[in-house]
Amino acid sequence: VSRHLLDALATTQALCGIFADAAVLRALLAVEAALARAQADTGIIPARAADAIAGAAHAERFDAAEIAQAARRSASIAIPLVEALTARVRAADEAAARFVHYGATSQDIVDTAMALLVLRALEVLAGDQRRLGAALRTLSDRHSGDVMVARTLLQPAVPTTFGLKVALWFHAQRRAWRRLDEAAREAAVLQFGGAAGTLASLGEHAPAVTRALALQLGLAAPAAPWQSDRDRIAALVAACGLLCGALGKMARDVSLLMQFEVAEAAEPGGGSSAMPHKQNPARSAIVLAAATRLPGLVSSSLAGLVQEHERSAGGWHAEWPVLADAMQTTGSALEAARDIAEGLTADTGRMRANLEAARGAVVSEWLSTVATRSVGRDQARAITQGVLARVSDGVALEVAVGEFPALRDTLSADELRRLGDPAAYLGQAEQFRRRLLEEG
Amino acid sequence: VSRHLLDALATTQALCGIFADAAVLRALLAVEAALARAQADTGIIPARAADAIAGAAHAERFDAAEIAQAARRSASIAIPLVEALTARVRAADEAAARFVHYGATSQDIVDTAMALLVLRALEVLAGDQRRLGAALRTLSDRHSGDVMVARTLLQPAVPTTFGLKVALWFHAQRRAWRRLDEAAREAAVLQFGGAAGTLASLGEHAPAVTRALALQLGLAAPAAPWQSDRDRIAALVAACGLLCGALGKMARDVSLLMQFEVAEAAEPGGGSSAMPHKQNPARSAIVLAAATRLPGLVSSSLAGLVQEHERSAGGWHAEWPVLADAMQTTGSALEAARDIAEGLTADTGRMRANLEAARGAVVSEWLSTVATRSVGRDQARAITQGVLARVSDGVALEVAVGEFPALRDTLSADELRRLGDPAAYLGQAEQFRRRLLEEG
Amino acid sequence: VSRHLLDALATTQALCGIFADAAVLRALLAVEAALARAQADTGIIPARAADAIAGAAHAERFDAAEIAQAARRSASIAIPLVEALTARVRAADEAAARFVHYGATSQDIVDTAMALLVLRALEVLAGDQRRLGAALRTLSDRHSGDVMVARTLLQPAVPTTFGLKVALWFHAQRRAWRRLDEAAREAAVLQFGGAAGTLASLGEHAPAVTRALALQLGLAAPAAPWQSDRDRIAALVAACGLLCGALGKMARDVSLLMQFEVAEAAEPGGGSSAMPHKQNPARSAIVLAAATRLPGLVSSSLAGLVQEHERSAGGWHAEWPVLADAMQTTGSALEAARDIAEGLTADTGRMRANLEAARGAVVSEWLSTVATRSVGRDQARAITQGVLARVSDGVALEVAVGEFPALRDTLSADELRRLGDPAAYLGQAEQFRRRLLEEG
Amino acid sequence: VSRHLLDALATTQALCGIFADAAVLRALLAVEAALARAQADTGIIPARAADAIAGAAHAERFDAAEIAQAARRSASIAIPLVEALTARVRAADEAAARFVHYGATSQDIVDTAMALLVLRALEVLAGDQRRLGAALRTLSDRHSGDVMVARTLLQPAVPTTFGLKVALWFHAQRRAWRRLDEAAREAAVLQFGGAAGTLASLGEHAPAVTRALALQLGLAAPAAPWQSDRDRIAALVAACGLLCGALGKMARDVSLLMQFEVAEAAEPGGGSSAMPHKQNPARSAIVLAAATRLPGLVSSSLAGLVQEHERSAGGWHAEWPVLADAMQTTGSALEAARDIAEGLTADTGRMRANLEAARGAVVSEWLSTVATRSVGRDQARAITQGVLARVSDGVALEVAVGEFPALRDTLSADELRRLGDPAAYLGQAEQFRRRLLEEG
C-alpha cells in the first residue's frame, strides 16, 4: 500500500526510503536498543538484558502495518511496538523482557527516532543542495557578461545580466539552506524525559543514562526534555518552507524564460502525452508544486505548537506526517532544482534580441533620469514618452533623442554613444553578482 | 516503502487502500479502457482495439514505483503509464497500439481517475459519518435530562444539559457533512479536453465520445473541461477542513470532560507505555491531530488555484497528495469520532456533583438578572458578588440570598425554590436540542 | 491611527468603511437597541426603557479607541461598550439603565453585529461581482471567433479562442460567487443564547424575544445558538478564498498575456515611478496579492474551529480581524478584477501572429493524432517531430507534411487545406464557450 | 476609518501607532529625504535641493487616505506619494523638484521604510519580552519546590514542580525570541536597487550613494538589492509564528490551570457581561487568538516568495498587511503574556490537593517501574492496576502496595517511605529547571 504514484512529484527515492516503515522501525528499535545499552553501561540493567534487547530489535521481524493499525487504540506507534519487542525479547530471554523500554515513555522513543531520521534526510538534502549551489555558481560565472532585459511586474525594465539573475538565485538558496541546516541540527536532539519529563523513574541514574544514551545515538541532549515544546520541529518545517520559496522563485523565472515567446533559457527534458513537440518545464513544475504546498505544511506545523501541559492530545500527533512531508517535498524540489541548474541552457542570442526588441522601453529609466537633470521629473516623463513614441514609429533611438533638446543638450558624447549599447547601462550588476557569490 | 507508521493516525486501512498505488493504477487504467470503449462505441476506433486495450489494462501488470520514478521527467504519471500500456497492447495486438490514449491528454486521465477515487473515498467516509450521526443522536436522547455545568472560557457558567451539548456536536457534523458530500459530488466529474481543453483532436466526434465516456465511468460531464480551474477540488478540501474542525470541537470537549479533575465523560480505551493506570483520550488525540493539520492542507489547496493559461506548471502538480491527505486524514478523524461517539460513557453523577460544587457561580447570571429588575446592572453585579462571597464562606445559597433585600424582595416564592434546583434553570436547552436533532 | 497606506491594496473605500469603528459601533448599538425593543414588545421590559436605550445608542457618542483599549481586560469589546451605554442611559433615565443588555451576553451582541456587517459587505461585493460578470460575458462574446494559442505549462499547445478563455474566467468566478453568496447568507444569522446558549435568563419569554429580535434586525434565527460552532463563518472565509483563487487565475493569465513578448491583452493603466514608459499589470497585482493572502486567512479561520465547551478562549477571539480582512481583501480583488474586465484590450492581431509563429508547434497534436491512425503512437510522435524539425528549418508546413507518407496518405484534401487554418482546429471551443455562458 | 474595535485583541496601542498612516508616511518621507541628503553628500544633486526635499517631507502635509486611494491605480503607495512630494518641493523650490526620488524606484522607498518600521516595532516587542522573561524567571524561582501533578494527554501523570513548568515556558519564549530578534535584524536592511536592481541610473556614484543612504538611516546594506527575494521578511513572519506558538502553549496551560475544577493558577482580571462572578482567562484568550491566527499569516507570507523576475506582480503586494499584522498580533500576545506572567497567582495548596487526589494515578509509573524489576513489564502493569483498583476502593496506598509481594518484597524501606511523599518522586525536575533558566 505505497503511494508512489500520488507522491511521485513530492518525494525522491532516497527520501521516500528514509521515512518508510522499514527505516522508521529501524530507528525506533535503534533507540530502544541504545536505551538498554546505556542502562547496562550505567549499571541499572544487566548487560545480558541489553544484549537480548539489541538481539531482538531487528526491524524485519516486526509488522509495520499491524503496529500502525494497533497504534490507533493508544494514539502511539511506540506502545504496540514496545509490546511486540517485549514479546520477542521474552521468547529469547525471559528475564530480559522486564528491561525493555525501562524508564522511558512512548514519546521519548518516537521523538528520538525522528531526530535520527531528520539527520539522515538532512544528509540527502545536503548532497543535492551542494550540487545545486555549485551548478548555479558555474552558471552565473559563465553568463557574467550576458545582457538580458530585467523584467518588473513582467514588463521590460532596464538591462541586467543573466549572471546576476543566477547569482540572486544562488544567494537566496544559500541563505535558505543555512537556515534549514541550522534548524535541522537544533531539532535533531535527544528527547528523554520518562513519563512526564522529570525522568523520576530512573532516580539518581537519570543524568548518566541520558549522557550514555545521547552518546550511543550521536545526538546532543538539550537542557531539558522538550516533549510539549515543539518549536524546534516547527522551525525546521518553516525553514523547509523558506527554501522551497527560494527554489520556487528560481523555477518561476525558468518557466517564464522558457515560454515560446521569450525562449531565453530552457531546462532539460519534459514531454507531453498529447503534443510530441513540447518541451515542458517539468522540473520547474515539480519545484513550483513544492512551493505551493509548503506554506500549508508550515501552517499545520505551527498550529500544533499550542500543546497542553506535559504532553499534548493532538498537537504532537499531527507532527509526524507533516515533518516527513515537509522534508520529502523539499528534497523533491531540491533534486529538481539541481537538475534544472545542472542542465539549464541559456540562449544568449535570444536574450540580446529580446533586449533589442524592447530597446526603447529599457532605456526609458535612463532617459528619464537624464532629462530630470535639466527639466525635472514631470517634464522628463513627458519627454521620455515622446522619445518612445517616436521609436515605436520606427525612428532610430539616437535620432529620436536628438529631437528633444532637453536630452540632446544634456547628454555627453560618451553618453550618446552608450545609448546604443545596453551593456553600458548595467550599473552595479557585476559588482552585485560577485558579492553574492563571495558571500554565499 | 509504505509509510504506515508515520501515517498511522492520519489515515484508515480502507482509505489507505483507496489512494495506494494499486488502486490508483486501476483507476487510471479504467479511464484508458473506458476511453477506448467509448471511442469504439462511437465508431472512431475499431472495437477490436478497444478490446485489446481493455485486455492489457490490468493494474497488476504495471510497476507503480517505476512509473512514479519516470514521472519526474515529465511531471506527469500518465505519460509513463501510457507508454507502458501502449507497449503491452502492442505486444498483444500491434494494430491496436495506435489507439491507446487516443485524443486524450495526461491530465484528462489523471483528473478523471482522481474523480473515481474521490467517489470511492466518499463512500467510506459516508459509512463512518452515518454511524457517528446515529450514535450522537442516541447519546443526545439518552442524556436529554442530564444537567451539567456549561463552561465559557473554561469557567463555569449556567447549567445546561449533556443532551444539548451532544446535539450541538451532532448538528455541526451534519452541516459539515452536507457541505463535504455536496462538494465531493461536484468535484468528482469527468475531465476530458484533449491537448488544451478544446477536444479538437476528436473533431466532430468529441461530444459523442464525451457522453459515452462519462456514461462508461458513471461520472457527470461539466459544461466544459476544467483542467486549469480547480475550485471544485479546493472546495472539497475546504469542506474536509470544515468537517475536521467540527469533529475537533467535539474531541476537544471530550478530552476536557475526561480530565481527572472533571471526569464527566470518557472515551473508551487509550493506554500509556509508562503509566499503566492511564486512560488517555487517544481517539480525541487522533481527531485533534486531524483538526490541527487540515487548515494547512486547505491553504495548500487554495494556493494552487492561481493557474497559468490552459494547464498550470506547479499548481496542478501540488494537488494529488494534498487531496489524498485531506480525504485520508478526514476519514481517520471520522472513524475516531465514530468510535468516541459509539463508546462514550457519561458520568451523570459527576456532572451533577461538579455543578453543585460550582453552584454559586452558576446561578450568578440568574441572580444578576433578577437583581437588575430592582436595582440596575451595576448594583446588581455588586449584589451578586456579595452573595457569591457569602457562599464561598460556607453560607447556604438560599440564606445568602435572603441577606440582600434587592434579591429577597424581588424573588417570588417559586423562584426562591428554584434556586436550589439547577434543572429549573435550563431555559431553552431541551427545545434547542430537539430542533437540532430534527433539522440534522 | 488608520492603516490606509499598508492596506491600500487590501481593501476598498466602501469596505473599509463597513468594518471601521463607526460602523462597528453602529452595528453593536443597533443590536442592543433592537434587543431592548424586542423585549419591550414582548412585555418584559418597559417600553420607556427601550426608548431610552435606543435614544442613547448613538455611535458618535462613544469612543471606539477607549473601548478597544478597555476590551483587552475582558477579551471582549462588548463589555466596555455595555458599560458605557449603561452610563449614558442612566444619565438620561435612571430606571432604564437596568434593562440595558438584559439577558444577553457579550458574544450575542458581537456575533449578531458581525452578521449585520457581513450582509452589508456582501452587498458591496455583489455590486462589483455583477459588473465583473457582465463585462466578462460581453468580452467573451466579442472575441468568440478570435483564435489564439492555448498554452499548457506555459508552452504553446493547440489553438483556442480568446472567447473561450474569457468564458472559463466567467464561469469560475460565477461558481465561486454562488458559493460565497450562499455562505454569507448562511453565516449572517442571529446569535442569541445568553450566558451559555440556553437563554435561561429570559425564562419562558426566550422564544418570543428571539423572534422579535430577529425580526427587528432582519436576520434569520438558526435552530439554536451557535456561539462555539463557527463553521458558518469559516465556510464564508473559505468561500472568499475560493473566489480570490478564481480571480487570481484570471489575473495571472492577464499579467502573462500583457508581457512585452506576448502582448495579446492589456489591462488599463499602471505606471512606474522609475520608468515612464511602463504599463504595469497593476490591477492584476492587486488581485494576485489577494490570492496570495487568502489561503492563509482561510487557514487561520479553520484553525479557530476547535473551540472549548460553550464559549472558547482564543478561537472566537481570533475571528474578527480574519473575517474582516477576508471580506475586505476579497472586495479589493473583485473591484480590481472588475476594472480589468471592463477595461481589458485584446490585440487579436498579435494573438494571430503569435499563433502563426508557433504554428508548427500548435498543429503537433493534430499531426500526431492523424499519424496515429496509420502508424501508431510511437511512430506518430517521431513523424510529428520530423515535420516540426523541417518547419523550424524554414520549410512550409504543408510541404513538410507532404514529405511524410504516413501523413500525406492519410490526410484528406479537406484536412490538408485546414492545416493552414488554425480556426479549423478549434474543436468544441465555441460549444464550450456557449455552455459556460449559458450556465453562469 | 480606524479599525480599533475589530483589532482590539490583535494589536497594542504602541504597535498600532507604528504601522498607522502617520508613522508610515514619516518613514517613507524619511527615506526620500535621506536619499536626497545622501546624493547631496555624494555630490550628485545640489545640497540646496536636498534641503528643499527634506523641508517638504513632513508627514502632516500629506493625505494618507488620498494617497492610498491613488495607489490602487499603480499598485504602489510610493508613486502617488512621490508625485505629491514633488509638487510640494516644486512649490518651494522649482529647481529642486527634479531631484526628488532621483534614481530610485518605488519599491526601494517602501521596502526601506518598512525596514525602519520593523526596527521600531522590534523595540516595542523587546520591552515586553524582557518583562515577560523576568517575570517568568521570578515565578519559576518562587515555585521551585512547589509540587503539582504533571499531566499528559490531560490525564494525571507523575509529580512535577510548578517551577519546572514555568521554566519550560521561559526557555521556549527565549528560544523563540532569539529567533525573532535575529530574523528582524536580518530583515531590516536597506533596499536600494533603482529600476530593476542594478542601480544603473546612478552610474559610478551608486556605491557611494548606497553607503551614505544606509548611514543616514542607520540600516545595514546587504550584498545586493533584494527586491524579489523576500525570504528575510518571510523568515521574520515565521519567527513571529514560532513565538506566538510558544506563548500560546503557556496560555493554554494557564487557561487549563484556571479551570474551576483545577484552580491551581489564575491570571489577573477578566470579567463577563452576563456573569458577575466570573474571572475569565481573558489575557490567555488574547494570546491564544494570536496563536490561532499566526500560522495562517506565516502561510500567506511564504506563499508570496514565488516572485517573478526582478519585481513581482502580487507576491510583493501581499506583504505589507501580512507583515504588519504579524508583528502587531505578536506584540499583542507578548503584552498579554507579560501581564499574565507578572500577575499570575498560583494556589500551591490546591496543587498539592489535586496531586493528593490523583495520588494513586501519579505513582503508577513508579510502581510499574519498581514491579518491573522483579516480574517484567506485562505483569508489572497488572500489579499496578491491581494496586490502583484497591486505592480507588479506599484502601491506603501503602497498605495496597503491601498486598502485592512483587512490590512489597522489592521496595526498600526508604522507597516505601517515599511512597507517601510526591516530593520524593520529582527526578530531575529541579536540575532541569535550573539549566533552563541558566541557558535562557
**Alpha-carbon gap, residue B361 to A403, rounded angstroms:** 88
Reported as type and span, the H/E element at residue C235 is: helix C231-257
CA D6 to chain centre: 20
- Counting Cβ atoms within 10 Å, is residue D421 exposed (0-12), middle (13-18) or buried (19+)? exposed
- Chain D stretch 128-167, residues whose beta carbon is closer than 8 A to a beta carbon of chain B: 151-158
Mean pLDDT to the nearest integer, D31-60: 97
pLDDT in tens, A127-177: 999 999 999 999 999 999 999 999 999 999 999 999 999 999 999 999 999
To the query of whether residue B174 is one of the catalytic residues in this protein, the response is no
Establish if B368 touches chain D: CB-CB under 8 angstroms.
yes
Distance CA D290, CA D245 (A): 8
The gap from C-alpha A37 to its chain's centroid, in whole angstroms, comes to: 36
Taking only residues 186 to 245 of chain C, the set having a beta carbon closer than 8 angstroms to any beta carbon of chain A reads none
Task: Estimate to the nearest angstrom the gap between the alpha carbon of D96 and the chain centroid.
Answer: 44
Residue B307 makes CB contacts below 8 A (sequence gap 6+) with B228, B229, B230, B315, B316, C249, C252
Read off the pLDDT band of D272 (50, 70, 90).
Answer: low
Asked whether the beta carbons of residue C64 and residue D315 sit closer than 8 angstroms, the reply is no
Closest residue, chain A, to D161 (C-alpha): A198
Residues B79, B106: contact at Cβ < 8 Å?
yes
Query: Which residues is A346 bridged to in the sheet?
Result: A265
Least CB-CB distance to A310: which of D150, D228, D303?
D150
Residue of A149, A153, A252 to mutate when probing chain C, most C C-beta within 10 A: A153
What confidence category does residue B424 fall into, taking pLDDT thresholds of 50, 70 and 90? Answer: confident
Residue A268's pLDDT is 87
Query: How many CA within 13 A on the CB side of residue C139?
Result: 27
CB nearest A277 (choices: C282, C295, C384):
C384
Residue B85 and residue B56 in contact, taking contact as beta carbons nearer than 8 Å: yes
Residues D358-394 have pLDDT tens digits of: 887 777 777 887 787 777 777 888 888 888 888 878 8
Q: Residue B255: its pLDDT value, please?
A: 98
CA distance B24 to B111: 11
Mean pLDDT for the stretch of residues C327-331: 98
Residue C260: list chain D partners with CB under 8 A.
none
- B3: nearest Cα among A394, A224, A20: A20
CA–CA min distance A36, chain D (Å): 14
Pair A313, D254: CB distance under 8 Å? no
A1: nearest CB among B17, B72, B287: B17
- C102-119: pLDDT as tens digits: 999 999 999 999 999 999
Lowest mean pLDDT among A193-197, B229-233, B368-372, B380-384: B368-372
Search chain B and give the residue with CA nearest D260: B155
C-alpha cell, C111: 456575533
CA distances from C316 to B219, B419, C310 (A): 40, 31, 11
C78 contacts in chain D (CB < 8 Å): 273
Please check whether residue D413 touches B, CB under 8 A: no
Cell numbers standing for residue A58: 531487528
Pairing of strands B147-152, A345-346: unpaired
Catalytic residue among B272, B392, B417, B435: B272
Q: What does pLDDT average to over chain D?
A: 94
**DSSP tag of D219:** -
C298-312 per-position pLDDT tens digit: 999 999 999 999 999
Report, as an integer, the average pLDDT of A197-226: 96
A236-245, C262-271, C278-287: which has the minimum mean pLDDT?
C262-271
User: In which residue are the cell numbers 524567571 written?
Assistant: D137
**What is the pLDDT at residue C275?**
60
CA distance B278 to D9: 38
Please give the Cα distance from B145 to B184 (Å, whole number). 38
Residue B9 at interface with chain D, using a CB cutoff of 8 Å: no
A69-98 residue pLDDT tens: 999 999 999 999 999 999 999 999 999 999
Please give the pLDDT value at position D388.
83
Q: Which of B261, B275, B365 sits opposite D261 (nearest CB)?
A: B261
Angle (nearest 5°) at CA A174 between A173 and A178: 115
Q: Does D112 touch chain C (CB under 8 A)?
A: no
Share of chain B above pLDDT 70, in %: 98
Q: In chain D, which residues have their Cβ closer than 8 Å to the Cβ of A195?
A: 150, 152, 157-158, 365
* Helix ranges (DSSP H) in A11-63: 13-18, 21-41, 47-56
Q: Which DSSP string corresponds to A119-149? A: HHHHHHHHHHHHHHHHHHHHHHHHTTT-EEE
Q: Write out C108-131 in H/E/C secondary structure.
A: HHHHHHHHHHHHHHHHHHHHHHHH
Residue corresponding to grid cell 546612478: D202
Chain centroid to CA D253:
17
Residue B420, pLDDT > 80, answer: no
Handedness of CA A188, A193, A197, A199 (dihedral sign): negative
Q: Is D304 on the interface with C (CB under 8 A)?
A: yes
> Which three cell numbers mark B70?
519516470
- Contact call for B235 and C179, based on CB within 8 A: yes
Higher-pLDDT residue of A201, C25: C25
Between residues 262 and 291 of chain A, which touch chain C (CB distance below 8 Å)?
A: 262, 270, 272, 274-282, 285
Which pLDDT value is given to residue D274?
Answer: 62
Q: Which of D283, D295, D336 sits opposite C303 (nearest CB)?
A: D295
Give D37's pLDDT tier (boundaries 50, 70, 90). very high
DSSP A311: B
pLDDT tens-digit map of A99-118: 999 999 999 999 999 999 99
Q: What is the pLDDT of residues C175-195, one digit of tens each?
A: 999 999 999 999 999 999 999
Using left for φ > 0, alpha for ψ between -120 and 50, and beta otherwise, residue C199 falls in left
Nearest residue of A to residue B270, measured between CA atoms: A74
Helix%, strand%, coil% for chain A, nearest 5: 70, 5, 25
Model pLDDT, residue C413: 75
Secondary structure (H, E, C), B270-330: CCCCCCCCCCCCHHHHHHHHHHHHHHHHHHHHHHCCCCCCCECCCCCCCHHHHHHHHHHHH
Closest CA to C75 of D251, D269, B173: D269
Position D334 confidence tier, pLDDT thresholds 50, 70, 90: very high
Q: Is the pLDDT of residue B378 over 80?
A: no
What is the per-residue pLDDT for D363?
79
Closest CA to A7 of A325, A288, A392: A325
How many other β-carbons are positioned within 10 Å of the β-carbon of residue A65?
15
Chain D residues in contact with C7 (beta carbon < 8 A): 68, 320-321
Weakest mean pLDDT among A259-263, A386-390, C74-78, D434-438? A386-390
* Cα D403 from Cα D399, distance rounded (Å): 7
Residues in Cβ contact with D353 at an 8 Å cutoff, skipping those fewer than 6 apart: none
Write the pLDDT tens digit of every residue in C132-181.
999 999 999 999 999 999 999 999 999 999 999 999 999 999 999 999 99
Q: What's the DSSP call for residue C311?
A: B
- CB-based contact, D74 to chain C, within 8 Å: yes
Residue B92 grid cell: 498483444
The pLDDT of residue D273 is: 62
Contact flag A73-B282 (C-beta cutoff 8 Å):
yes
Helix (H) or strand (E) holding B58: none
Residues 6+ apart with CB under 8 A from A393: none
The amino acid present at B404, given as its one-letter code, is F
Which uninterrupted H or E stretch holds C263?
Answer: none
pLDDT at B102 over 90: yes
Please give the positions of D annotated as active site: 272, 311
* Contact yes or no for C275 and A368 at CB 8 A: yes
Letter for the amino acid at C43?
G
In the three-class reduction of DSSP (H, G, I as helix; E, B as strand; rest coil), residue D227 is classed as coil
Task: Return the amino acid letter for A1.
Answer: V
Nearest residue of D to residue A312 by CA position? Answer: D153
Task: Round to the nearest angstrom and report the end-to-end CA distance of chain C.
Answer: 43
- On whether any CB of chain B is under 8 Å from the CB of D312, the answer is no
Nearest residue in D to B275, CA atom = D365
Under the phi-then-psi rule, with left for phi > 0, alpha for psi from -120 to 50, and beta for the rest, what region is B46? Answer: beta
Contact A292 B285 (CB under 8 A): no
User: Which cell numbers hold the place of C422?
Assistant: 488554425
Interface confidence (ipTM) of the complex: 0.95
Residue C20: is it exposed, middle or buried by C-beta count within 10 angstroms (0-12/13-18/19+)?
buried
Digit-coded pLDDT (tens) for B278-331: 689 999 999 999 999 999 999 999 999 999 999 999 999 999 999 999 999 999
Beta bridge partners of C151: C156
In this model, does residue C43 exceed pLDDT 90?
Answer: yes
Contact C304 D292 (CB under 8 A): yes
**Residue B345: how many CB atoms within 10 A of its CB?**
9
Q: Which of A258, A260, A252, A264 is nearest to A333 (CA)?
A: A252
H helix intervals, A266-412: 282-303, 319-343, 348-357, 359-362, 364-375, 377-392, 397-402, 405-408
Q: Outline where C42-151 has alpha helix (H).
A: 47-56, 64-74, 78-92, 106-142
Q: What is the CA radius of gyration of chain B?
A: 30
DSSP D311: B
Per-residue pLDDT tens for D308-329?
999 999 999 999 999 999 999 9
Out of C20, C313, C335, closest to residue D284 by CB: C313
Q: Is the dihedral of CA A262, A267, A268, A274 positive or negative?
A: negative
What's the pLDDT band for B272 if we cut at 50, 70, 90? low
Taking residues B421-440, report their average pLDDT. 94
Grid cell locating B423: 434543572
Among the listed residues D225, D227, D226, the one whose alpha carbon sits nearest the alpha carbon of residue D199: D225
How many Cβ atoms from other residues are within 10 Å of residue C123's Cβ?
Answer: 12
Q: Please, where are the H alpha helices in B143-221?
A: 162-187, 206-217
Confidence of residue C273 (pLDDT cuts 50, 70, 90): low
Q: Which of C377, D47, D228 is nearest to A248 (CA)?
A: D228
Question: How confident is the prediction for chain A on average, in pLDDT?
Answer: 94
Q: How sure is the predictor about C348, in pLDDT bands with cuts at 50, 70 and 90?
A: very high
> At residue C22, does pLDDT exceed 80?
yes
Task: Write down the catalytic residue from A48, A272, A392, A435.
Answer: A272
Grid cell at residue D177: 525570541
Average pLDDT over residues C261-288: 84
Task: Say if residues A148 and A426 touch (Cβ distance below 8 Å).
Answer: no
pLDDT confidence of residue B244: 98
Q: Which of A381-390, B104-113, D7-16 has the lowest mean pLDDT?
A: A381-390
